[in-house]
Chains A and B, each alone.
Chain A
Amino acid sequence: MTIFLRAGGQLRAMLKPDIDHYTRKVEIDSEQTIGEILTAISLDPAYVALVYVDGKMKDLSFKPSEGQTITLQPPVSGG
């Protein structure tokens, strides 16, 4: 099935977007977790501080559904 990964900053270079400036389309197996998907596309999950789906924080064990957009937030220092 198809999902979409979005990332900015340092993660964007690692993601290699192919849909727009921030988004990559990925074909996955239905039972794959986000952590497994990222590893499969050679994006080290350790660089992902936040997995954000439909307005909620998820962790790397989350299994996306068909057509979902997953936003990956890199770590950022505060003020």
Chain B
Amino acid sequence: MANGLAGTTLRINLNTGEIKRYPTDEKLMREWFGGRGVIAKILYDEVPRDADPFGPENLFIMSAGVMSGCFIPSGAKIEFGSVSPLTNGHGDSNMGGHLGPALKFAGYDMVIMSGISPKPIYLFIDDDKVELRDASQYWGMGSLECEPKMKKDLGEDFEIATIGPAGENGIRFSCITHDFGRQAGRTGQGAVMGSKKLKAIAVRGTGGIKVHDLQKLTEYVTAIIKRTQTHPNMAPWQKYGTAFFIDWSNKNAVIPVRNFQTTYYENIEGISGEALVEKCLITHKACFGCWMNCGKYTKAVIPGKQAVYLEGPEYETGSLCGSNLGMTDINQVAYLNWLMDNVGMDTMSGGGVVAFAMECFQRGLITTEDLEGHTLNWGSVEDAEHFIDMVVHRRGIGEYFSGGSKRAAEKIGRGSEKFAMQVKGQEISGYDGRYAPGMLLSYMTCDIGAHHNRSWTITVDMAEGRDKIEGRAKVVVYLQHIRPLFDCWCICRLFWGELDIEPEEIVEALNHITGWNIDAAEAFKTSEKIWNLVRCHYLERNKANGRTFDYPPARSWEDKIPTGPSAGKGLSKEQIEAMLDEYYACRGWDNNGNPSREVLHDLKLDFAADNIEKLGLLGKPLPNGIPTVRGERYKPKAF
């Protein structure tokens, strides 16, 4: 058994119920790093390009990565992947909690599921016992109700991940929930599980994981723990989680307000991190192997409703279901967080879809008649709740929105496409990019549709000047290589990326675990390889030049920010085109946004070059060749 690996990969045919065990392909894990990387390769190799994301040929993969469950801080993540029903390209999403380590302790690195079960089932893993069990008693339950029920039925030491009614009903932005409040939210992985009639995954593992050099790893971990325990970021994280950032985001006018209509919120105090701690906090919560305990277990109280308990809200939910929906009290935001978690809806896309619908209502594009006699006003929890119910159950106009804001806009028309705040079909994260050009470029070029987690450049935008667009591309490319590495190795970026641990040090931990003896340069190159493979996969499925898909909604250049500290600011279409030009050149792609053969050859992706060439989508040779170094780490200006 290779170091860092559990040793076995499961392949499950959900049509027939057949479960096969294979030794984990160590070479594959080495070349593609596990987690997001190996998922990208398997999806590329095995899912036909015309496969329906909801069909039997789509795969649903869970991968625990080589570092998850090992003797390191925050080695807690698990990665899920499939062809996304939201974006029609590679989709992956991860969660913390305890499921990834449990899967490895049970003896499995990866589970690859194909087909569609004839009836609702859940995957049961108890060390070497692997079964598909009847889930009819759980089907229809909310995620936050289902997990405790399954723990009661199976045992408290089982780690459970579930989908809610949203996933069961094929809502394209459905999530997977685990440990009561951890979600794999983005790209609709919950919907793919639902399409396969897979309600839940239950894992108990009692084994161990062999590492390459336990003594060196122990010394290394001891030193990291000592260093990070006194890190200045630790105490605020522990108290507020990421919710502390709401105030700063507003002060710097990047917070989304009422569907990104503006970027400064007059009611920020009611939904701030301090409000969360004062009004809702019960206690703190952590993932496997982490003492940052950034999770906040909270209670939401809304007049006329029973109190609900949840984990959150963190920044993204706090902004996208807070200021973005016109909410004025943290209890409202927490309640909507709970609601979406329970139905199994990504709170980021969920907040974006509800906000889009609220603006449609504001503009008279949808009416009370469309909403079963209800209104859909900004700041109304009741209105939002009723609308979410319509979407989850695909009633009436809810059907339009079940596919996300892009598809809803295509049905509603009348100019609504302009303010469906998404890229490639996935809703934008909780930062407005009109006066943060690097952030906008990050959304435009993200491989899985708009998402901040691949590249986050707000502070770079501030340091370099928010009116300036030049030079952002190389920073975005660098971040798009380093940040997804956490999703390959299944460790938490909040610990490993935000506490002054250098990339070289993370690679050192990887080497102590695996014995691979790689350096940071190889790590970045592998991440770049994965990025380009995912790009090729997207082109092959969507059969058009990449540039076609890399634009933000027209609000991004047509609507200047109307109010607040950034009033009057915004980018032009020409500036957006120029940013794309710079980005493609930085990547070694042509001006159509298609990877060139030269860069794909450099990344050992000649097979992908051949495939996109057959479709006429291979990037033209670049006149000056490809850059030798693609992406550059940002160094803050000295003061």
Instruction: Out of B236, B239, B500, B636, name the residue touching A14 (CB < 8 Å).
Output: B636
Instruction: Say yes or no: is B222 at the interface (Cβ < 8 Å to chain A).
Output: no
Residues of A in contact (CB 8 Å), total 30
Q: Are B240 and A57 closer than 8 Å at their CB atoms?
A: yes
Interface string of B596-639 (1 = CB under 8 A from A): 00000000000000000000000000000000000000001011
Task: Write out the residue numbers on chain A whose beta carbons fall within 8 Å of the beta carbon of B498.
Answer: 9, 76
Instruction: Say yes or no: is B164 at the interface (Cβ < 8 Å to chain A).
Output: no
B residues at A contact (CB < 8 Å): 96, 230-233, 235-236, 239-240, 242, 244-245, 247-249, 252, 273-274, 314-316, 452-453, 456, 458-459, 462-463, 493-494, 498-500, 636, 638-639
Residue of chain A at shortest CB distance from B252:
A46
Q: Are A9 and B245 closer than 8 Å at their CB atoms?
A: no
Task: Write out the residue numbers on chain A whose beta carbons fall within 8 Å of the beta carbon of B236.
Answer: 50, 52, 57, 71, 73
Task: Write out the residue numbers on chain A whose beta carbons fall within 8 Å of the beta carbon of B639.
Answer: 14, 42-44
Task: Write out the residue numbers on chain A whose beta carbons fall within 8 Å of the beta carbon of B249.
Answer: 75
What would 17 A/B residue contacts be, using CB atoms closer than 8 Å? A8-B499, A9-B499, A12-B232, A22-B231, A22-B232, A44-B639, A46-B252, A47-B463, A52-B236, A57-B236, A57-B247, A76-B233, A76-B245, A76-B494, A77-B452, A78-B242, A79-B316
Instruction: Out of B232, B493, B499, B500, name the residue touching A71 (CB < 8 Å).
Output: B232
Q: Are A75 and B458 closer than 8 Å at their CB atoms?
A: yes
Give the shortest distance, in Å, between A71 (CB) and chain B (any CB).
Answer: 5
Residue of chain A at shortest CB distance from B483:
A77
Task: Write out the residue numbers on chain B whose beta carbons fall within 8 Å of the beta carbon of A44.
Answer: 639
* Cα distance A73–B639 in the bound complex, in angstroms: 18
Give the shortest distance, in Å, between B170 (CB) and chain A (any CB).
Answer: 25
Task: Write out the residue numbers on chain A whose beta carbons fall within 8 Å of the beta carbon of B452.
Answer: 77
Instruction: Out of B96, B231, B274, B494, name the residue touching A57 (CB < 8 Å).
Output: B274
* Cα distance A73–B463 in the bound complex, in angstroms: 16
A residues at B contact (CB < 8 Å): 6-10, 12-14, 22, 42-44, 46-50, 52, 55, 57, 59, 71-79
* Cα distance A74–B242 in the bound complex, in angstroms: 11
Give the shortest distance, in Å, between B467 (CB) and chain A (any CB).
Answer: 15
Instruction: Out of B239, B245, B463, name the residue touching A49 (CB < 8 Å).
Output: B245
Task: Write out the residue numbers on chain B whose beta carbons fall within 8 Å of the beta carbon of A75.
Answer: 245, 248-249, 458-459
Task: Write out the residue numbers on chain A whose beta carbons fall within 8 Å of the beta carbon of B240.
Answer: 50, 57
Task: List 9 additional A-B contacts (Cβ < 8 Å) besides A22-B232, A55-B235, A71-B236.
Answer: A9-B499, A43-B639, A44-B639, A47-B463, A52-B235, A75-B249, A77-B456, A78-B245, A79-B494
* Cα distance A10–B314 in the bound complex, in angstroms: 22
Task: Write out the residue numbers on chain A whose beta carbons fall within 8 Å of the beta carbon of B314.
Answer: 78-79
Task: Determine which residue in A48, A59, A73, A78 has the highest number of CB atoms from chain B within 10 A of its CB, and name it.
Answer: A78
Task: Determine which residue in B240, B244, B273, B459 has the highest number of CB atoms from chain A within 10 A of its CB, and name it.
Answer: B459
Q: Are A55 and B462 closer than 8 Å at their CB atoms?
A: no
A8-B232 CB under 8 A given contacts A44-B639, A78-B242, A78-B314 = yes
Residue of chain B at shortest CB distance from A20:
B230
Residue of chain A at shortest CB distance from B246:
A49
Give the shortest distance, in Å, between B456 (CB) and chain A (any CB).
Answer: 4
Task: Write out the residue numbers on chain B whose beta carbons fall within 8 Å of the beta carbon of A78.
Answer: 242, 245, 314-316, 494
Task: Write out the residue numbers on chain B whose beta carbons fall within 8 Å of the beta carbon of A43.
Answer: 639
Give the shortest distance, in Å, between A50 (CB) and chain B (any CB).
Answer: 5
Give the shortest distance, in Å, between A41 (CB) and chain B (any CB).
Answer: 8
Q: Are A10 and B242 closer than 8 Å at their CB atoms?
A: no
Task: Determine which residue in B232, B452, B493 has the highest number of CB atoms from chain A within 10 A of its CB, and name it.
Answer: B232
Instruction: Out of B244, B463, B499, name the residue touching A50 (CB < 8 Å).
Output: B244
Instruction: Out of B230, B232, B638, name the residue touching A73 (CB < 8 Å).
Output: B232
**Ranked 10 nearest A-B pairs via Cβ:** A78-B242, A77-B456, A49-B248, A78-B315, A6-B232, A42-B639, A8-B232, A52-B236, A50-B244, A73-B236
Give the shortest distance, in Å, between A10 (CB) and chain B (any CB).
Answer: 5
Residue of chain B at shortest CB distance from A60:
B251
Give the shortest distance, in Å, between B348 (CB) and chain A (any CB).
Answer: 10
Task: Write out the residue numbers on chain A whose beta carbons fall within 8 Å of the beta carbon of B252.
Answer: 46
Give the shortest distance, in Å, between A37 (CB) and chain B (any CB).
Answer: 14
Give the shortest distance, in Å, between A7 (CB) and chain B (any CB).
Answer: 5
Q: Are B453 and A47 closer than 8 Å at their CB atoms?
A: no
Residue of chain A at shortest CB distance from B227:
A21
Give the shortest distance, in Å, between B53 (CB) and chain A (any CB).
Answer: 24
Give the shortest distance, in Å, between A72 (CB) and chain B (any CB).
Answer: 7
Task: Write out the residue numbers on chain B whose beta carbons fall within 8 Å of the beta carbon of A7.
Answer: 232
Q: Are B458 and A22 closer than 8 Å at their CB atoms?
A: no
* Cα distance A42–B636 in the bound complex, in angstroms: 14
* Cα distance A71–B458 in the bound complex, in angstroms: 21
* Cα distance A59–B251 in the bound complex, in angstroms: 11
Q: Are A47 and B459 closer than 8 Å at their CB atoms?
A: yes
Q: Are B636 and A79 closer than 8 Å at their CB atoms?
A: no
* Cα distance A71–B234 in the bound complex, in angstroms: 10
Task: Write out the residue numbers on chain A whose beta carbons fall within 8 Å of the beta carbon of B453.
Answer: 77, 79
* Cα distance A52–B273 in the bound complex, in angstroms: 12
Q: Are A13 and B231 closer than 8 Å at their CB atoms?
A: no
Task: Write out the residue numbers on chain B whose beta carbons fall within 8 Å of the beta carbon of A9.
Answer: 233, 498-500
Q: Are A79 and B274 closer than 8 Å at their CB atoms?
A: no
Instruction: Out of B244, B459, B494, name the residue touching A10 (CB < 8 Å).
Output: B459
